[in-house]
Structure 1
Amino acid sequence: MSTKLVAWNQSTDCCLWHGVSCNNNGQVIGLDISSEAVFDGLQNSSGLFGLRYLRRLNLAFNRFNNIQIPNVIYNLVNLTYLNLSNAGFVGQIPIGVSNMTRLVTMDLSTQFLGIQQLKLENPNLTTLVQNLKDLQGLYLDGVNISAPGNEWCRALSPSLPNLSKLSLSRCHLSGPIDSSFSQLHLLSVLHLDNNDLSTTIPEFFANFTRLTSLSLSSCSLQGFFPDKIFQVPTLQNLDLSNNELLNGNLPQFPQRGSFRRIILSYTNFSGPIPDSIGKLVMLSSIDLSLCNFSGQLPSTMTYLTELIYLDLSFNNLTGFVPLFNMSQKLTYIDLSNNGLTGSLSSRHFEGLNDLVFMNLGYNSLSGNIPSVLFVLPSLQKLRLSNNQFGGRVNESSTTPFSQLDTLDLSSNLLEGPIPEFFFELRKLNVLLLSSNFFNGTLKMANIHNLQNLTRLELGHNRLSINTSNSSSSSYSFQQLTRLNLASCNLQSFPDLSSQSKMSFLDLSDNQINGEIPNWIWKVGRGSLVHLNLSHNLLRDLQTPYKISSILILDIHSNQLQGDLPIPPPSAIYIDYSGNKFNSSIPVDIGKSVLSSCFFSLSNNNLRGAIPESICNASYLQVLDLSNNFLSGTIPNCLLSINSQTLGVLNLGRNILSSTIPNSFSPSCCLRTLDLSKNNLSGQIPGSLAKCKLLEVLNIGNNNIGDKFPCLLKNSSNLRVLVLRSNKFHGDIRCPPVANNSWRNLQIIDIASNNFSGNLYPKCFLSWRGMMLGNDAELDHNHLRFDFLNLNNFYYQDTVTATIKGLELEFVKILSVLTVLDFSSNNFQGKIPDTVGNLSSLYSLNFSKNALTDQIPKSIGYLTQLGSLDLSNNQLTGGIPEELTSLTFISFLNLSSNMLFGKIPLGRQFHTSSEVSYEGNTGLCGFPLERKCEGVSLPSPEDMNNVKTDINWNYVCAALGYSVGLGMTVWLNFLFVW
């Protein structure tokens, strides 16, 4: 809205108009109509471009509706200051600007990056600035320059010898930074944020001795940041954030450094925070979050009394939060409130040249104040109040961090009690201490002084917070919007009923029992959008209640019972899992989950059918109804209507019956489908082949009678295939398919079926997810489905597998957990040598089949193997010596075969018990009681394999011809019981 133009009166002298300045001759030399909402009339404004004496023109922050800068602007040849920033100009910057040779400052920048923006093509940057020799300030943020480093650097130097302020953020610049850039030796401000420089920072930046502000955030910087740049004596602002490949350390800072702001967040800076940081007494903001800093917090940070913003979150900082400096060189003296009497003399302060902080307040000292106190070279803060000195003393507050607005130490390794002085920082707006090892007991009343708090997060420490004998009057934080007291040993709800602005409340992982009070739904007076009460001992909801406005509602892992509480239609995340709800799912539940992307009712006692109205939840990405007593059939619409969004469907461990609907859509986005442990029958529907993104398929423990699922042969993302305990039959051969099918497969469990036929060698060659050194993503991450990325929410896949003879449920599937279980089928013939190519395999189970011939020596190559079960077959020959290479193995079962000869000894192999070999009458040696003396070993002829003709017209579903035994990558897989 205009505030200047509306007051212009043509009946008065224009030199009196607001925004207009004139010289002594009445000639207009300055025009400032910035932020006036002007949107038209510029292109035909002969009056404006006829002001030939004009020296300063400011049209910034107007609305010129995507027009080009008029070329006639070159008429204003006397301009020294031109500001057209954020005014709605687009397109090519006109050549006429390069003729304005008297320009000292030019600002054409924009904060808004749309499809249309200002650009420099013809003229390019070189042409634009080649005549502007007097230019000192150049601001082109958001202008599309699109130039490599050698071009844009050489365009600026030596053309602009007087340039001191340069801002080229978001200009599509690339690197490297050319050496010619070093000629800009007068630079004081350099901002190159949000360009893809992909380069190291040159050492010559440290030669810019007038540099006050350096901002290089989000530039894809790499390499090591030069320490010398930190030593530039004039540098006040440094921003290197969001350069995750940029390495560096904080150096020793010089005495009385000029720094005001240091931002290194989301870089790879590491090492300790040096004690010398305490010398930067002018620091107001420091952000070292999401780095790799370690060691203890230096006690000298307490000298940073001008600090307003401190964020050290997500590092590896350890130890206690310091308050006092105990170094040998005395820099901190606090003798306040000690009953000191008498007078002070100069000798009391001899040798204190390093003293930065002194507090002698609240004593009974008298006399004159020694003048030496005022010439101590390092002294920054002096407090002598409440004594009996003569005269007056100008003092400033000496409370550490007394100016702090934001203090974030979350997600570190800090320990000990929370320092009490934190709760004396009356200006504190944000206090984040969660996810550390702070301990002790804290009363909510201790926080009462922090009346300006908007965010308080103390969760996930070792704290105990006492809320007893308190009422809502104890929590008069009327500005509080976020409160996190997770894992704080709370026994009851703190009374937050008077909180009028709270939008985020996390009381999870405590010991709160009883009812959920009905006032909690009114916290924030309708502004509460995130409520987490999970992992408590809650049993019921106080009535009457009305859940409204909440977006994220998490009450899982309690003891809640009865009917399901109806979530509000606004909720996007609903987790009721792990309770004792025993009703049926409401028929019209679809009305309440219309906006939901996550809905979990798993691990309850719910009964009845799955209502078809749930298909109305068209935004669902995760639906988990597992481990209940749901019956009936799977709604057809569940697999078709939601196909474009649904990534996880888990209906396992219910009593669902009939067949799997053949209604998967061509746009199927499923990553996880778990229908295990139901009463499903029939066959795998052919439309499942449309789910190209499928990673986890678990239909185990049903009554499905089908052949091997060759229809999934093109599911290259498949990682987990579980068919166990069904009625599958036939062999596992499929028609030839493209190379590397199922290349990411890491778990295949087809145990307890009626599969038969031979194990074909090429079946094992393309399962590259079970090989070290393969092209699959083998790391120590877990299989999971990410959603609501801004909130870091994800769904954790689970699977049950038989390992070490035990059926174990893995609630987190490591991407390095590799399992092959073909047990309890009717496979026959020999075990192929190619099984030895599965070099990352952790569990191998061929037990309870009709396999013959010898144990392949190649199994000895499986150095990651922890569990091997070949029992209950018809294997013959001796146990290969190569199996002694299995140093990681902790479970071995070769029982009930026809093995003979001496049991090999060596490494961990000999730790197996006698049970591992029973039922093999020809075996001898430790740990069996049967000695090998006098026992004849089999002849070489006896050891020869029985040759079998193989029809290569068919190969297994995972056929692949690229095979390599990569042993260069060693994955240390930890099996957690």
Structure 2
Amino acid sequence: MRNWNQSTDCCSWGGITCDQSGLVIILDLSNQLISGTIDNSSSLFNLQHLQQLNLAYNTLSFSFPCGFDKLSNLSYLNLSNAGFTGQVPAEISRLTNLITLDLSVNLFLRDGRPLKLEKPNLKMLVENLTRLRSLHLDGVKISARGNEWCKWLSSLTNLEELSMSNCNLSGPIEDSLQKLKNLSIIHLDRNNLSAVVPAFLAHLPNLTSLRLSSCGLHGQFPREILQTRPDLSSCNFSGAIPSSVSNLQQLVYLDLSLNNFTGQIPCFDLSKNLAHVDLSYNKLSGKIESLKWEDLPNLTHIDLRHNSLNGNIPSSLVALPSLKRVLISNNQFDGEVTGVPKVRESLLDTLDLSYNQLQGPIPAYVFELSRLSVLVLSSNNFNGTILPRDIRKLVNLTYLDLSHNNLSVIATESYSVLSSFPKISTLKLASCKLNVFPDLKNQSRITYLDLSQNQISGEVPNWIWNFSDDLQQLNLSFNQLEGLQKPYQITPSLSVLDLHFNRLSGHIPTLPVSAVYLDFSSNNFTSSLPSNIDDYLSYTIFFSVSSNGLTGFIPKSICDAGYLQVLDLSENSLRGAIPKCLIGKMDSLGVLNLRGNHLSGEIPDAFSRKCSIETLDVNGNELTGKIPISLGRCRKLEVLNLGNNHINDTYPCHLKDITSLRILVLRSNKFHGGIGCPADKRLWPKLQIVDFAHNSFNGKLPNK
């Protein structure tokens, strides 16, 4: 360690504690960015009087060393996220004085190499550690069945904390675990338990925290819950939330999100200590006005998103003194938002009321909530005028979304709207009746800007491309923009640029080099596609220039855009042949739309076995020849539109194995012969739309 002075007593060094005899008994080197390796002969293992060792959150590499059994006096061992990989050594099972053992691995921190408990397995690790009170093995690959791991752990009768999240455990949770009467914490989330919650969990007298989220649990929710921090999210529970929950006077934390609960929300008025409620992503209904929110003075977090709740938002909820986050979007709340909280004392930092049916003006007190950092009111029926001085009061605002209401945001240059905000990162003002660009030149931290569906006309100001070095997403679609002010240089950080449905003309703008989404469709661009277009589409997934006046050929270089999933060049004046590489090389392409051009020649017979095409639309060109035989390799194809060309072929029986096909359009070509394929009565079982008009087919139509 750099801060250890070799000329001083080691007992004075940071992270070291000695006993009265000068022997090192505690070594805490957690979060010290230590890298390298610890081998079996390390001097660490000479500290035989050591009682506590903490190496958590470092970047040690390679496998576990095997010298830990020399530290026989250890009662506390924390190696969580220390960087060790591979098999947990058997030597740790010989540390019989251990009270706390933490070998947890955060999957987001490790480099992909797992930490495993296979030889020795979990049984061999714990069978001698009978004094354990705290066992944390989160992220360690254990892969054991319920009748195994439950039995192995049941011998640890002193255990108080059991945390084994994301360990590849399977269920069910066996009754043998109920022997562990001292358990206060059980965290088994993100395993594959696939069973009902065992009833005995409700009868563990000391249980205070239960996490079983994302475990494949199902069935009715347990009627008796005694723990104070239940997290049973993503469990596929159904039925009503039991009314007995309202009797839990010690309840502090409740997470029942991502289930299938129905019915109304129970009243929590007896849970005076309740701080966190997450009931989001269920099927709950009814009103919440009568739930006595004023009796929950400690509530800090309420999340009711994505349910079917209705009625008014109670003023008593917004006025709670400890409340920091209110998330109630995607419901059916209506009426006006009322109530006047003590704004100077309010701790509210997040308010999300989006996707409801709220109406009336935005309450004035909202703009007095000085701690507010996230304000999302989009997709409601709010009305009125928003002035810059209203928004300026929210000095801590980082995220503002007022989109899709009936609001008028005044943003004339004289107001210099938002110019005083130093921290805002996301600004969404879609459909806010803007007629000029807001003055954002001082907003150097914006990453997401949405000014779509407004009435902004004239040129796109050149400052918008580089006013923020962090700008990643810019949406100016559905305005009346006519050009780009020159000179301009698009910031390389831009990953999403949406300019569609404007009046932009001339050459296609220089493309940002790191973009993943580019939409220039429905404008008046008249140039050709640049011959080096691949230089700008290296990371692009979506690219559309449809409904413009583009001319020239499709450049072959576009085939080097290896990540493209959607390519839409439709409704232009492109001519020439379809590049063979566009068909054979772009295996990631899911949508290819070339309709409404002047393309000629044959569709290249070059579809590969890795073909991912789901939609192929070449309607309204001058294509000839036959339907390529290799198209039959595109087993994901759902939409095939070949209409209004000069294709001369018979009924496409060679596509019979494409069972995903839903739409087949062959109209106005030169198809001939009979309709149908011999011995194939269930051809294309998902077919919904068929258009064979204006061809030369003959014979009888098939029965189905």
Question: Normalised by the size of structure 2, how large is the TM-score?
Answer: 0.89
Does residue 39 (structure 1) correspond to residue 54 (structure 2)? The answer is no
- Structure number with larger C-alpha Rg: 1
Deviates more, 1:182-191 or 1:490-499: 182-191
- Answer whether contact 2:413 2:439 (CA < 8 A) is retained: no
- Counterpart among 2, 8, 23 of residue 6 in structure 1: 2
**1:156 matched residue in structure 2:** 153
**1:728 matched residue in structure 2:** 671
**2:241 matched residue in structure 1:** none
- Counterpart among 267, 273, 282 of residue 298 in structure 2: 282
Q: 1:187 to 1:236 in 2, by over 3 A?
A: farther
Q: Which amino acid aligns with 1:312?
A: I
Q: Which amino acid aligns with 1:540?
A: G
- Answer whether contact 1:215 1:238 (CA < 8 A) is retained: no
Q: Provide the secondary structure at the position in 1 that maps to 2:101.
A: strand
Q: Which amino acid aligns with 1:260?
A: A
Q: Which segments of 5 or more consecutive residues in structure 2 lack a partner in the other structure? A: 226-244
**1:669 matched residue in structure 2:** 612
Deviates more, 1:11-20 or 1:485-494: 11-20
Which string of whole-angstrom CA distances, capped at 9 and with x for unpartnered residues, describes residues 700-749 of structure 1? 12222221122212222211111112221111243445x74412222121
Q: Which amino acid aligns with 1:754?
A: S
Does residue 76 (structure 1) correspond to residue 18 (structure 2)? The answer is no
After TM superposition, the structure 1 = structure 2 runs for residues 773-792 of structure 1, keeping only pairs within 5 Å, are none
Deviates more, 1:446-455 or 1:126-135: 126-135
In 2, Cα distance between equivalents of 1:583 and 1:6: 62
- Counterpart among 543, 562, 565 of residue 621 in structure 1: 565
- Counterpart among 744, 752, 755 of residue 697 in structure 2: 755
**2:574 matched residue in structure 1:** 630
**2:390 matched residue in structure 1:** 446
Q: 1:191 to 1:246 in 2, by over 3 A?
A: farther
Shift of 1:672: 1.1
After TM superposition, the structure 1 = structure 2 runs for residues 85-124 of structure 1, keeping only pairs within 5 Å, are 85-112=80-107, 115-124=112-121
- Counterpart among 204, 211, 218 of residue 214 in structure 2: 218
Q: 1:54 to 1:637 in 2, by over 3 A?
A: closer
Shift of 1:598: 1.6
Q: 1:163 to 1:756 in 2, by over 3 A?
A: same
In 2, Cα distance between equivalents of 1:22 and 1:586: 71
In 2, Cα distance between equivalents of 1:306 and 1:652: 58
After TM superposition, the structure 1 = structure 2 runs for residues 168-187 of structure 1, keeping only pairs within 5 Å, are 168-187=164-183
Count of matched residue pairs: 679
Shift of 1:458: 1.3
- Counterpart among 666, 670, 684 of residue 742 in structure 1: 684
Q: 1:8 to 1:319 in 2, by over 3 A?
A: same
Does residue 553 (structure 1) correspond to residue 497 (structure 2)? The answer is yes
Which string of whole-angstrom CA distances, capped at 9 and with x for unpartnered residues, describes residues 779-833 of structure 1? xxxxxxxxxxxxxxxxxxxxxxxxxxxxxxxxxxxxxxxxxxxxxxxxxxxxxxx
Shift of 1:422: 1.7
Does residue 236 (structure 1) correspond to residue 180 (structure 2)? The answer is no
**2:161 matched residue in structure 1:** 165
In 2, Cα distance between equivalents of 1:757 and 1:472: 72
- Counterpart among 62, 68, 93 of residue 58 in structure 2: 62
Q: Provide the secondary structure at the position in 1 that maps to 2:375.
A: strand
- Answer whether contact 2:344 2:370 (CA < 8 A) is retained: no
In 2, Cα distance between equivalents of 1:496 and 1:197: 51
Q: 1:28 to 1:586 in 2, by over 3 A?
A: closer
Does residue 511 (structure 1) correspond to residue 506 (structure 2)? The answer is no
Which string of whole-angstrom CA distances, capped at 9 and with x for unpartnered residues, describes residues 275-316 of structure 1? 234433223333333445444433321343222333233334
- Answer whether contact 1:218 1:240 (CA < 8 A) is retained: no
* Root mean square deviation, CA, Å: 2.8
Q: Which amino acid aligns with 2:644?
A: N
**2:236 matched residue in structure 1:** none
- Counterpart among 597, 603, 620 of residue 541 in structure 2: 597
**2:628 matched residue in structure 1:** 685
Does residue 495 (structure 1) correspond to residue 439 (structure 2)? The answer is yes
- Counterpart among 261, 265, 277 of residue 276 in structure 2: 261
In 2, Cα distance between equivalents of 1:480 and 1:82: 43
Does residue 520 (structure 1) correspond to residue 517 (structure 2)? The answer is no
Which string of whole-angstrom CA distances, capped at 9 and with x for unpartnered residues, describes residues 194-220 of structure 1? 112223334444444544433333223
- Answer whether contact 1:602 1:626 (CA < 8 A) is retained: yes
Shift of 1:103: 2.4
Which string of whole-angstrom CA distances, capped at 9 and with x for unpartnered residues, describes residues 228-284 of structure 1? 43454444334445x445668642214353233334444555555462344332233
Q: Which segments of 5 or more consecutive residues in structure 1 lack a partner in the other structure? A: 325-333, 335-397, 765-977
Q: 1:213 to 1:313 in 2, by over 3 A?
A: farther
Q: Provide the secondary structure at the position in 1 that maps to 2:510.
A: coil
Q: Provide the secondary structure at the position in 2 that maps to 1:707.
A: coil
**2:22 matched residue in structure 1:** 26
Shift of 1:621: 1.7
Q: 1:455 to 1:702 in 2, by over 3 A?
A: same
Which string of whole-angstrom CA distances, capped at 9 and with x for unpartnered residues, describes residues 593-642 of structure 1? 34322221212233343333433433322121212233333333322232
- Answer whether contact 2:676 2:701 (CA < 8 A) is retained: no
Does residue 421 (structure 1) correspond to residue 365 (structure 2)? The answer is yes
Q: Which amino acid aligns with 1:751?
A: A
- Counterpart among 173, 186, 189 of residue 185 in structure 2: 189
- Counterpart among 316, 319, 322 of residue 306 in structure 1: 322
Q: 1:407 to 1:209 in 2, by over 3 A?
A: farther
Q: Which amino acid aligns with 2:692?
A: I
- Answer whether contact 1:107 1:139 (CA < 8 A) is retained: yes
Shift of 1:536: 1.4
Q: 1:124 to 1:204 in 2, by over 3 A?
A: same
Which string of whole-angstrom CA distances, capped at 9 and with x for unpartnered residues, describes residues 68-93 of structure 1? 252x4234333221111111223333
Q: 1:294 to 1:428 in 2, by over 3 A?
A: same
In 1, Cα distance between equivalents of 2:183 and 2:573: 72
Q: 1:277 to 1:215 in 2, by over 3 A?
A: farther
- Counterpart among 647, 656, 663 of residue 713 in structure 1: 656
**2:229 matched residue in structure 1:** none
In 2, Cα distance between equivalents of 1:478 and 1:148: 54
Q: Which amino acid aligns with 1:438?
A: F
Q: Provide the secondary structure at the position in 1 that maps to 2:36.
A: coil
In 2, Cα distance between equivalents of 1:126 and 1:238: 33
Which string of whole-angstrom CA distances, capped at 9 and with x for unpartnered residues, describes residues 407-447 of structure 1? 22223333332222221121222222222232222223201
After TM superposition, the structure 1 = structure 2 runs for residues 333-732 of structure 1, keeping only pairs within 5 Å, are 398-399=342-343, 402-468=346-412, 470-472=414-416, 474-524=418-468, 526-549=469-492, 550-642=494-586, 644-732=587-675
- Answer whether contact 1:430 1:453 (CA < 8 A) is retained: yes
